[in-house]
Structure 1
Amino acid sequence: MRMISTRGRAAPVGASEAMVAGLAPDGGLYMPTALPRRSPEDFSGLSSLASVAEKLLTPFFQDDPLAPSLPGICRAAFAVPPPLRAFGDGGDQMLELFHGPTAAFKDYGAAFLAGCLAAGPARTTPLTVLVATSGDTGAAVAAAFHRRPGFRVAILYPHGLVSPRQAHQLGCFGDNVHAFKVAGNFDDCQRLVKAALADDALRAQVPLTSANSISLGRLLPQMAYYAQASLAHWRSLRRPLSFIVPSGNLGNGLACLLAKRMGLPIDRLVLATNANQVLPEFFAGGEYRPRPAIPTLANAMDVGSPSNFERLDWLYPDEQELRPALSAEAVSDRQIEQTIREVHGRLQRVLCPHTATAAHVLQRLRQRGETGDWCVVATAHPAKFPDVVEPLVGGVVPLPPALEAMLARPAHAEPLAADEAALAAALRSL
């Protein structure tokens, strides 16, 4: 299958070429020329995440050099099954995506992308994987590429706007992983990455790719856990499952939408955002109006200009078709705190601030009389945010073993101005 740019001014390429490039030459984002249709019956006999992922993703790699490697890549990237657990006693569920090496959902997409790039031709010059992060992406990418021959990683994060434990994760790898604390917000980091990827002169000196959700290699694999969860629910109850997805840069929510459009038994999709209301305002009928991000307790979702909206706009050229396809609701810091406290008191479950946005939206839906089968998507482990979570639950949140090991390492990050020339100089010096 060929991949084309959302801006329509770049030649079609194969999946592996699109993943290496990161961004299309015309500045657009790569998308498949078509979404193959799948029914629940197509996955008969398949239940593991790896097997569902392989079946789901195979059409995108048809006639691609990576096709023979896809089964092994899926086995490695999707080795950790995400539990689908009851969330309360009313039939609601929670999909826990935080059991990977860095305790965030982004471990799945990052591991898949790393496996794909590593399976490509041997390199004489290292490929630098450039990534902007609002908290979780950078650590997942670092873990996936750490000590892989032929790769360097450059992580850009907004200084002072990620949790202390997130910052420590970003700087604790060393070796081929370099962390930069940027004097700006996440949108500045994202802008710098896009500018570097579009700089032909820089890329001639420093071969670059991206591991943000602008990369097709991050986006496509994230469909797999929605496919597996919805199939398990369908097989049990013969009803489709609806998802509430915490959303910042929109990659995770878009992956769910793509899985639905492919024919998986998914009913409704609601995006839960923090106080950055670009998406809720648009889906409520307003204009799409990007603006500077504001800091919130759910910092990994502090995005004022979601990159993947360009893909949504490409999928639905008519806004009258896009708005009914999904919805979005904003949740304030006060509501995040209330939800963490209430869910812990009622269910003895501890939520991270991002997951709490989705849990709060679920409460709203039920209070409004919404019916159907709903699943809250849990995107990060609460132990990554002790300063927020522990005072609300009145106790220490135990560390997952992998996170505990990372926090025991020394960490270091280089300061970087929010300036394109400063980034270019830093990349040339690696």
Structure 2
Amino acid sequence: MKEPLRYHSTRHAEPAVPISQAIAAGLAPDGGLYVPERLPSIDPAAFDPHGSLADTAATLLAPFFADDPLTDELAAICTEAFTFDAPLRALPAHPNTMMLELFHGPTSAFKDFGARFLAACLRRLPRNDARPLTILVATSGDTGAAVAAAFHRQPGIRVVILYPDGLVSPRQAHQLGCFGDNVTALRVAGRFDDCQRMVKTALNDTALQAQLPLSSANSISLGRLLPQMSYYAHAAVGWWREHGTPLNFIVPTGNLGNALACLWVRELGLPVGAVRLACNANATLPDYFAGAAYTPREAVATLANAMDVGAPSNFERLRWTFPDENRLRDLLRADSVADATIRQTIATHAHEYGEVFCPHTATAMHRLDRLRDEGDTSPWAVVATAHPAKFESVVEPLIGQRLAVPPALAAMLARSASASPLPATDMALQEWLTTA
């Protein structure tokens, strides 16, 4: 029998720790991201063919949590976190084309899965420090609301959300500021990459950590990343049981967390086929996979704002997973989709097929449209990361009609909302944290 998994930093400067410690910390002390010592192998036949998404998650994640204080709680954590489905829905107008809908959670975005799992884990982990734990979140639109909803009014937890002022959709901004109580939204005078840098700097500041216990709920946290594998495993194993073939995925991505979750599922030995990445005009990843050196750059604002990332954090984990750069480039492709093409894809699919997508999902749908034009007839699943009603100011003018708002989103929009301004500097965040 293999030894239970332990977790080390992508930068290898710190000793390996149990998964509960890695989840509690968020970021490794050396600034790297926690990864398992190895990725386990899982037999597709191990999953209950009649099981729910929560059942799939519990089976999938069991090797990652083996011999940890959270082991006995894992099934309950999954049941508590996954109270909504991730349906794999066929698109009738497009043969062999499915949509993996990840927007049926409380904030209408895929981030709900990981945020709720992380919250369920932290609720069960004992803390020796009586002071509240501050969860720092940098968001390009959807992460912050999902984390806020998952931790809202949780005792002993304070959530601080940083988002780029003016660079998220109006409804996203309202969601971020509508919780109150133990949740505070800070609108940063900068871009998402500034918010992400500020959070990482705070988490790496040992003097600040001594004053104020901190953790993270971004996709840099294993507690966010690992549960996101569940919906890919559930969809892929279900497809494999019915059709006997792997299922291919096109994943809209910015910070690489959702895409990495899909790739890890394939590395575990589950029937995931080809994986393609769809990006917006931020071309750090498309340029890299086209052969250029990996070069983070300043993000540019686009219609698919949740993917406005110029320095994707999870690239460190991607390189750990595939240390051979040539193999990595052989395995993956990433395509950049301009705003004009996003608009055209949304409008065309709405008017010709009655299909309505958010701007992020539209980047993936455009990539599949091109594959079909090139003669690809294999089974593909487009990953739908958010409900289009979160981006009504973009989508409604293109489709010529009002969008129905999911009830949970409508309830949030009915609340009052507020956010405090913050300069885009590390010191500004440190001062706010120590004085608020």
TM over 0.5: yes
**Match for residue 102 of structure 1?**
107
Which residues in structure 2 correspond to 1:195-210 (within 5 Å)?
195-210=201-216
**Match for residue 236 of structure 1?**
242
Equivalent of 2:96 in 87, 91, 102: 91
**Match for residue 363 of structure 2?**
357
**Match for residue 328 of structure 1?**
334
Equivalent of 1:53 in 49, 54, 57: 57
**Match for residue 134 of structure 2?**
128
The answer on 1:306 being equivalent to 2:312 is yes
**Match for residue 123 of structure 2?**
118
**Match for residue 346 of structure 2?**
340
Equivalent of 1:291 in 276, 297, 300: 297
Q: How far apart, in 2, do the equivalents of 1:280 and 1:252 lie?
A: 16
**Uncovered stretches (5+) of structure 2, i.e. residues with no partner:** none
Is the 8 Å Cα contact of residues 109 and 387 (structure 2) preserved in structure 1?
yes
Instruction: Find the residue that maps to 1:148 and give its secondary structure.
Output: coil
Is the 8 Å Cα contact of residues 304 and 359 (structure 2) preserved in structure 1?
yes
Q: How far apart, in 2, do the equivalents of 1:102 and 1:429 lie?
A: 30
Is the 8 Å Cα contact of residues 245 and 269 (structure 1) preserved in structure 2?
yes
The percent identity for this pair of structures is 61
Equivalent of 1:219 in 200, 220, 225: 225
Q: 1:343 to 1:149 in 2, by over 3 A?
A: same
Instruction: Find the residue that maps to 1:70 and give its secondary structure.
Output: helix
Q: How far apart, in 1, do the equivalents of 2:105 and 2:165 lie?
A: 25
**Uncovered stretches (5+) of structure 1, i.e. residues with no partner:** none
Q: How far apart, in 2, do the equivalents of 1:77 and 1:326 lie?
A: 30
TM-score (normalised: structure 2): 0.97
Tell which deviates more after alignment, 120-129 or 294-303: 120-129
Q: How far apart, in 2, do the equivalents of 1:263 and 1:420 lie?
A: 41
Instruction: Find the residue that maps to 1:254 and give its secondary structure.
Output: helix
**Match for residue 249 of structure 1?**
255
Report the Cα offset of residue 366 of structure 1: 1.0
Report the Cα offset of residue 429 of structure 1: 2.5
Is the 8 Å Cα contact of residues 47 and 228 (structure 1) preserved in structure 2?
no
Report the Cα offset of residue 400 of structure 1: 0.3
Aligned residues: 430
Tell which deviates more after alignment, 105-114 or 361-370: 361-370
Report the Cα offset of residue 368 of structure 1: 1.5
Report the Cα offset of residue 46 of structure 1: 4.6
Instruction: Find the residue that maps to 1:131 and give its secondary structure.
Output: strand
Q: How far apart, in 2, do the equivalents of 1:41 and 1:374 lie?
A: 22
What amino acid sits opposite 1:378 in the alignment? A
What amino acid sits opposite 1:94 in the alignment? M
Q: How far apart, in 1, do the equivalents of 2:211 and 2:398 lie?
A: 49
What amino acid sits opposite 2:395 in the alignment? V
Report the Cα offset of residue 238 of structure 1: 0.7
**Match for residue 276 of structure 2?**
270
The answer on 1:401 being equivalent to 2:407 is yes
Q: How far apart, in 1, do the equivalents of 2:29 and 2:318 lie?
A: 19
Is the 8 Å Cα contact of residues 242 and 267 (structure 1) preserved in structure 2?
yes
Equivalent of 1:79 in 66, 78, 83: 83
Report the Cα offset of residue 232 of structure 1: 1.2
Is the 8 Å Cα contact of residues 48 and 55 (structure 2) preserved in structure 1?
no
Q: How far apart, in 1, do the equivalents of 2:108 and 2:48 lie?
A: 30
Query: Runs of at least 4 residues of structure 1 off by over 4 A?
Result: none
**Match for residue 149 of structure 1?**
155
What amino acid sits opposite 2:105 in the alignment? G
What amino acid sits opposite 2:145 in the alignment? A
Tell which deviates more after alignment, 340-349 or 131-140: 340-349
Which residues in structure 2 correspond to 1:357-376 (within 5 Å)?
357-376=363-382
Report the Cα offset of residue 34 of structure 1: 1.0
Q: How far apart, in 2, do the equivalents of 1:7 and 1:89 lie?
A: 44
Instruction: Find the residue that maps to 2:162 and give its secondary structure.
Output: strand
Q: How far apart, in 2, do the equivalents of 1:23 and 1:151 lie?
A: 17
Q: How far apart, in 2, do the equivalents of 1:269 and 1:39 lie?
A: 20
Report the Cα offset of residue 346 of structure 1: 2.1
The answer on 1:187 being equivalent to 2:193 is yes
Is the 8 Å Cα contact of residues 48 and 56 (structure 2) preserved in structure 1?
no
Report the Cα offset of residue 208 of structure 1: 0.4
What amino acid sits opposite 1:119 in the alignment? R
Is the 8 Å Cα contact of residues 270 and 328 (structure 1) preserved in structure 2?
yes
**Match for residue 388 of structure 2?**
382
What amino acid sits opposite 1:65 in the alignment? P
**Match for residue 181 of structure 2?**
175
Instruction: Find the residue that maps to 1:385 and give its secondary structure.
Output: helix
Is the 8 Å Cα contact of residues 23 and 215 (structure 1) preserved in structure 2?
yes
Q: How far apart, in 2, do the equivalents of 1:213 and 1:255 lie?
A: 10
Instruction: Find the residue that maps to 1:174 and give its secondary structure.
Output: coil
Tell which deviates more after alignment, 370-379 or 122-131: 122-131
Instruction: Find the residue that maps to 1:13 and give its secondary structure.
Output: coil
What amino acid sits opposite 2:210 in the alignment? A
Measured against aligned partners, the alpha-carbon deviations of 1:346-392 in whole angstroms (never above 9, x if no partner) come to 22121100000000000011111223110000000000011100000
Is the 8 Å Cα contact of residues 46 and 52 (structure 1) preserved in structure 2?
no
Q: How far apart, in 2, do the equivalents of 1:306 and 1:158 lie?
A: 16
What amino acid sits opposite 1:265 in the alignment? P
Q: How far apart, in 1, do the equivalents of 2:42 and 2:184 lie?
A: 41
Is the 8 Å Cα contact of residues 280 and 337 (structure 2) preserved in structure 1?
yes
